[in-house]
Amino acid sequence: MRTTLARLAAALGLALFGCSSSEPAPPPDNPLPVLLAADPDTVPIRSPATTIALTGQGFVSGSRARWNGSDIATTFVSATRLDIAADAARLAVSGPVALTVSNPTPGGGISGQVDLVVVYPAPTISQITPDRALVGSPALPLQVAGTSFVTESQVRINGFDVPTTYVNGTTLTATLGTVGLLFAGTAAVTVVNPTPGGGTSNARTLRIENPTPIITSISPDSVDSDAGPLDVTVVGQFVTGAQVAINGTPRASSTIAADRIRVQLSATEVAAAAPVTITLLNPEPAQGPSVGKTLKVGVAPPRINSVTPATVVVGSPGFQLALTGTNFGPTDQVMWNGTPLATGFGAATSLTATVPAGHLATVGPATITVRSGTTQRVSAAQVLPVLPAAPAGTGTIVVNQGAAALIADPVRNRLYAAVGASGPTNPNTVVMIDPATGAILGTIGVPGDPTSLALSDDARYLYVGLGASPNVARIDLTTGTRDLEIPLGQATFFGPLYAEDIVVLAGNPKAIAVSLYAKGVSPRHQGVAIFDEAVARPVRTQGHTGSNRITRGSEPTELFGANNETTEFGVRRLRVSATGLTEEVVRDGILSGFSTDLEFSGGYLFDTAGGVIEARRLQVVTSIAGSGLVAADVPRGRVHYFSGTTLSSHHYLAGAQIATLVVPGAAGAVAMARFGVGGIALASPTTIVLVGSSAVGPAAER
């Protein structure tokens, strides 16, 4: 009993009066430890050995910390602090760690639990390499630089995981597949570390760019300062949504083919006679712009709009010629067939010239031009016909042969007539006719209902369109035999294709442009295609509102087309290339109605309703009081129309009537052709009438 009291007294720091003992005092009991916090309470995974301070109460020198129930090396600092050493092995596993402190007996015990968490760090990105890529590229290797990367780090692009490789704590590599490079745009690149901790890094932007566009050519590449407003067609490589930039400023542009885009320049933009830089811009994000092409703009030459009088009779006395136009100057000179005339300057829009009687001694066309006194440039010519004093009498020959189409052969001096399957005489043939006598020289069998004709420049090949066969037949005129059938193919939904109109390419007797149609549909037009003998070039124009009627232009690579099947009544300039045919310029609404046709001569397009269109700019310049079948002869200053039973000849621009002939036997004519010195042939389904008159004039160009 005394011993127990002594211990109690010792614990209370008291002496028991009157008592003494020779035994040493027993050690005091250890307190129950109280654990309040761990500092730090989170440690990044895979950290090196880390010291963690435990704070609380009742710590003793024998206190031991426990890590998830297992003892861990502990250093006693004070009754309120212990330090523990977490080695790398313990920090290699993520998640919460239960920390406790145990005090030894006597007394002692285990504290309450405090949690420490081994966490993944929050990643950051400082740079991605590369930070841009091209649309359509192969799979893209990507290097991501930053901080706090771990082996479990995952690169995401626009929120989607991509294959990722851990290099070290500051570098990851990843691969963006080809699907992610199909479209232009921006992609957000992030790195995600797993929980606990971890999270998503800041984003870096990867630009997936359209490539730098390429311009291969522009058309036109040189113009005069009075050419505006002007359509420029840019040929090259670009993507959908590309724009043309004029002197660096993007402009509204129209894509007209996979490799062609069109832009319009205003009159003001070309009036300064300064070069214009044209570039292409692909839609953003994009590389570029393209390397520029220069549109050369020169000082405009004089322009003649009209001459008065428009015709003159041979043997007339000298007279005063009046010219209207633009860009005239005080020192300009009017020229008659290249010979200067005494010239008077009225204004920038008017000149006069004295024509001596000696210039009027011979029948034929006179070429009127104006030469600039400052630039020495010469205007385009206007033709003034010098007419016979009295036109020679009309000679008429009626051939007992109907035809659907006519064409003249200037090399052999003969006519070819296409006779359809329903022709009363020589059906399904091409008939050869001597235009001087009307004699039928022979026939060439062409089964399939011949409906249209086209002749090569060298007059070797005659091409025949067929109304009952989806082919074009070719006749070798050197042998008089049909030597080739050109299949025209199939429409996607409408069956076989047939030839409505045919043009032989200039300088290429074995290549033709064919306006295609399908039967039983409306509109029936299915585009214009180029055929090299029996092989079609891959690119053809669109159907429906395209060019169901076609004619040649002034350049080998240029055609013109008319749409007369729909209410748009458009005229189009078409460009021939090695791959086919594409539209360059479209002008809607400049024809006058259904079934209107076109013919080209001397830089102008003449329609069957009397309209005259400047071909280069596709602008209507005048309207002539003539209509019906048309045969234009600009080099001789004339255009001829046949309607009903009347053949009329007019000045090609002024419209002045030169002659009118009534040809009763040609009523119902469906085709007309110029031939010889002064001849016109008119074909109806039952007869061909050959008309010869000096009013018709010398031979026309083909």
| In the chain, domain spans | 1-25, 34-119, 124-209, 214-298, 303-387, 395-692
Quick one: three-class SS letters along 513-573? EEEEEECCCCCCEEEEEEEECCEECCECCCCCCCCCEEEECCCCCEEEEECCCCCCCCEEE
List average pLDDT for each run of 10 residues in the chain, which is 702 residues long.
44 45 74 96 93 96 95 95 94 95 95 95 96 93 96 95 96 94 93 96 96 93 87 92 95 88 91 94 93 94 92 93 94 96 95 96 92 93 87 81 96 96 96 95 96 96 97 96 95 91 95 95 91 94 85 90 77 91 82 82 92 87 92 90 94 90 93 89 96 66 32
Domain 214-298 top-level CATH class: mainly beta
28 DSSP 8-state letter:
P
Question: Which CATH number is associated with domain 395-692?
Answer: 2.130.10.10
Same fold, 124-209 and 214-298: yes
Task: Specify the pLDDT at position 636.
Answer: 85
Domain 303-387 top-level CATH class: mainly beta
Q: What are phi and psi of 494, to 5 degrees?
A: -115, 10
Task: Specify the pLDDT at position 560.
Answer: 94
Task: Specify the pLDDT at position 697.
Answer: 66
Closest CA to 346 of 318, 320, 367, 310: 320
170 DSSP 8-state letter:
T
Asked if residues 435 and 413 have their Cβ atoms less than 8 Å apart, the reply is yes
Note every long-range contact of 468-473, with CB atoms under 8 Å and residues 24 or more positions apart, other chains counting: 468/421, 469/498, 470/496, 470/497, 470/498, 471/499, 472/499, 472/502, 472/512, 472/514, 472/531, 473/446, 473/448
- The phi-psi region of residue 107 (left if phi > 0; otherwise alpha if psi is between -120 and 50; otherwise beta) is left
Task: Specify the pLDDT at position 647.
Answer: 94
Task: Specify the pLDDT at position 567.
Answer: 61
Q: What angle do CA 328, 332, 334 make, to 5 degrees?
A: 100
Strands 42-44 and 114-119: parallel
Query: pTM of the prediction?
Result: 0.71
Tokens of 378: 């010469």
CA dist., res. 517 & res. 52, Å (int) = 89
Segment (H or E) for 12: helix 2-12
CA dist., res. 206 & res. 461, Å (int) = 60
Superfamily of domain 124-209: Immunoglobulins (2.60.40.10)
CA dist., res. 309 & res. 328, Å (int) = 19
Task: Specify the pLDDT at position 9.
Answer: 46
The CATH architecture assigned to 34-119 reads: Sandwich (2.60)
Q: What are phi and psi of 63, to 5 degrees?
A: -60, 140
Angstrom distances, CA of residue 644 to CA of 438, 494, 554, 628: 22, 36, 31, 8
Count the Cβ atoms, other than its own, within 10 Å of residue 30: 20
CA dist., res. 361 & res. 352, Å (int) = 21
CA dist., res. 219 & res. 540, Å (int) = 19
- E strands within 564-669? 571-577, 580-587, 598-601, 604-607, 611-614, 619-623, 629-633, 638-643, 646-651, 657-662
CA dist., res. 294 & res. 137, Å (int) = 31
Q: What are phi and psi of 29, to 5 degrees?
A: -70, 140
Closest CA to 33 of 11, 55, 17: 55
Write out pLDDT tens, residues 507-543: 999 999 999 999 988 888 999 999 999 999 999 988 7
- E strands within 68-220? 70-72, 74-78, 81-86, 95-103, 109-110, 114-119, 124-129, 132-134, 140-147, 154-157, 160-161, 164-168, 171-176, 185-193, 199-200, 204-209, 214-219
Asked if residues 581 and 537 have their Cβ atoms less than 8 Å apart, the reply is yes
**Burial profile 389-418: b = 16 or more Cβ within 10 angstroms, e = fewer:** eebeebebbebebbbbbbbbbeeeebbbbb
Task: Specify the pLDDT at position 363.
Answer: 87
Closest CA to 639 of 665, 621, 616: 621
